[in-house]
Structure 1
Amino acid sequence: MNLPQFYDPNAVGTIYTARTNTAIDAGHALNLSPASEDTHRTALLLVDMQVDFVHEDGALSVPGAVADARRTTEWLYRHVDRVTTVMASLDSHIPLQIFSPAWWVDEEGNHPQPYTVIPGETVQAGKWQPLYETDWSKQYVEQLEQQAKKQLMIWPYHTLIGTIGQTLTPALYEAIAYHTGARRAQPIFINKGTIAKTENYSIFEPEVKDDTRPNGGVDIDRLDLLADYDEIYIAGEAKSHCVLETVTSIMRYYHDQPEVISKFRILTDAMSSVAHPEIDFEALATETFEEYAHQGLVLTSTEET
């Protein structure tokens, strides 16, 4: 399908008030059949396409994300007639979380800088000390290394609830609204990341489980919901973190159901990796996605579909 007249590709990655009414009205004008009548059901799963990740001046800007968002937005416009449901996750944080600078101090009382790695052995040695949830934090870094095979990374404050950085990038939101009007379909928004004591890269589960919280384990209901679709396309930020961990949750949950894994299509040109001065996150993510492709995951692009 054609791109709508109100769409401006140069507006992607800029801050403005989304023209929701205009987008919904333009969608209505297409006179498409409602999504509820689809016999072949297609979902688009958008991972954390938020201002802080997508925009060049975002708090945790991902290089290449503006172009990713543009391709994703245009893909949705072109395929609005075949997309049944749009799902979008929102990384949603509060200032004091275990990966925040304010959570930790060194032996001299200094907070770590963003992108500092905190190995478990340095916590046990007292080189890094948690100011909150002391016992949990010390156990957390060890469990993270043992279970998730990661070391704790300190991140810049990002996607804080109530800030502009937490919102979806406006141009993409307009495309979601356009789909809502065109297909008479409610979008599904998924909040994640509000548990202070754990990281939550995946849409479906935190890095270390917290049984004291209702969202502290694996979201089986949402994983089962995806399996009801015939095709599920995935785009978002960052490829190396939240997209990768979301897909990892899917691969782990459906490891013995290849017929479900084959439904998932990764839009590889609609995601980019976090830039780090010492860690090649892009290479690590690409290697893992290629391993998943050997297990039946489909790697494609916005141009191929």
Structure 2
Amino acid sequence: MKTRYEQIVEVSHIASEKRDHIPSILSLAGQEQIPPASADKKRTLLLAIDIQNDFMESIGSLPVAGSRADVHRLTQWMYNNMASLTQVMCSLDCHSLLQIFHADWWVDRKGNQPKPFTVIRYRDVMDGTWTVSHADTLEQSLVYLKNLETEGKKELCIWPYHCLEGSSGAQLESQFANMVYFHSALRQSKPFLVYKGQDPYTEMYGIIKAEYDNNKFVNHAVLEAIRAYDAIYIAGQASSHCVLASATQILEYFAEDKAITSRITLLIDCMSPIAGFEESTRQAFGSLHERYGIQIKKSTDIIL
């Protein structure tokens, strides 16, 4: 390509307050002559999980150590494989203030809200350690906590306020956004944006479904989109939570179709775990490899 990587991504501005510069990106893409994605014989998908400002170290409210370097490696991989990357799908965490995993939802006996990373269990509410701020949410909150236990899901964790609707923290990281829209203009391929996490009564780590919800929502539109690709590459933040949950949900859905599960590759150097979850994440990914035949590789080892 005529356009250099450095014209699209300013490495020093990854995970900074620097805004994207998409108008100039579109101008650069217009100077290139690469066939549109619709001409691809082998269709490839990048599934980018929650590459948003609030998960970026130094600027985010819920920063993931290593995220800056992850974005650098991922955008370099996208650039190197621009002519063969058919589609980019981005999940976007999107929350309101009053959600079950935010402090506003809960108070203790003295009326104090929980601090970030407090774990609240069903028994904590039953014994009065914690209760809801709004009485009309109590019954459904108890149902949620009880089902987390009975279904063996992650315990409810109070997260710092993050990815609030319309906030800068909810936006795609700026330099990643530059590369996404350069790809979009160059390959004539509209990014597939998937919003998740808007149900106030549940957590939604994975892109396909919540940890538990009464309606049993499953994002079939995303699953059917994934089915259409010959190769699927997954990256994003955090590997220990939203990436792991997304990959697991996709693999469980296609469990009986090894032709699909074997198409999936985790770009392991383009994601990082939340501190303290390093070993459990490594083991979980290893289990997915053994059970479903997915590949786990560094981005530098993959040329499309």
Do the structures match in fold with TM over 0.5? yes
Which secondary structure state, in structure 1, belongs to the residue aligned with residue 88 of structure 2? strand
State the match for 1:29 in structure 2. Answer: 31
Question: 278, 294, 298: which one pairs with 2:295?
Answer: 298
Shift of 1:16: 2.2
What CA distance in whole angstroms lies between the structure 2 residues aligned with 1:204 and 1:148? 18
State the match for 1:190 in structure 2. Answer: 194
What CA distance in whole angstroms lies between the structure 1 residues aligned with 2:80 and 2:13? 18
Which secondary structure state, in structure 1, belongs to the residue aligned with residue 91 of structure 2? strand
Question: 153, 160, 164: which one pairs with 1:160?
Answer: 164
Question: 278, 283, 305: which one pairs with 2:279?
Answer: 283
RMSD: 1.3
* Residues 1:137 and 2:133 are matched in the alignment: no
State the match for 2:250 in structure 1. Answer: 250
Which secondary structure state, in structure 1, belongs to the residue aligned with residue 164 of structure 2? coil
Give matches, 1:67-216, under 5 Å: 67-132=69-134, 133-211=137-215
What CA deviation, in whole Å up to 9, does each residue of 1:54-106 have, x standing for no partner? 14121000111111111111111111111100111110000000000111111
Shift of 1:148: 4.2
What CA distance in whole angstroms lies between the structure 1 residues aligned with 2:9 and 2:132? 47
Which secondary structure state, in structure 2, belongs to the residue aligned with residue 268 of structure 1? strand
Which secondary structure state, in structure 2, belongs to the residue aligned with residue 86 of structure 1? strand
Shift of 1:124: 1.6
Alignment check: 8 A CA contact 1:52 1:159 kept = yes
What CA distance in whole angstroms lies between the structure 1 residues aligned with 2:7 and 2:166? 31
Shift of 1:6: 4.2
Which secondary structure state, in structure 2, belongs to the residue aligned with residue 156 of structure 1? coil
State the match for 1:267 in structure 2. Answer: 267
What CA distance in whole angstroms lies between the structure 2 residues aligned with 1:77 and 1:85? 13
The aligned amino acid for 2:171 is T
The aligned amino acid for 2:31 is A
Alignment check: 8 A CA contact 1:25 1:181 kept = no
Question: 5, 8, 11: which one pairs with 1:3?
Answer: 5
Which secondary structure state, in structure 1, belongs to the residue aligned with residue 26 of structure 2? helix
What CA distance in whole angstroms lies between the structure 2 residues aligned with 1:67 and 1:124? 44
Residue ranges of structure 2 left out of the alignment (5+ in a row): none
State the match for 2:17 in structure 1. Answer: 15
Shift of 1:138: 1.0
Shift of 1:177: 0.9
Alignment check: 8 A CA contact 2:101 2:158 kept = yes
Which secondary structure state, in structure 2, belongs to the residue aligned with residue 181 of structure 1? helix
Report the number of matched residues.
Answer: 297
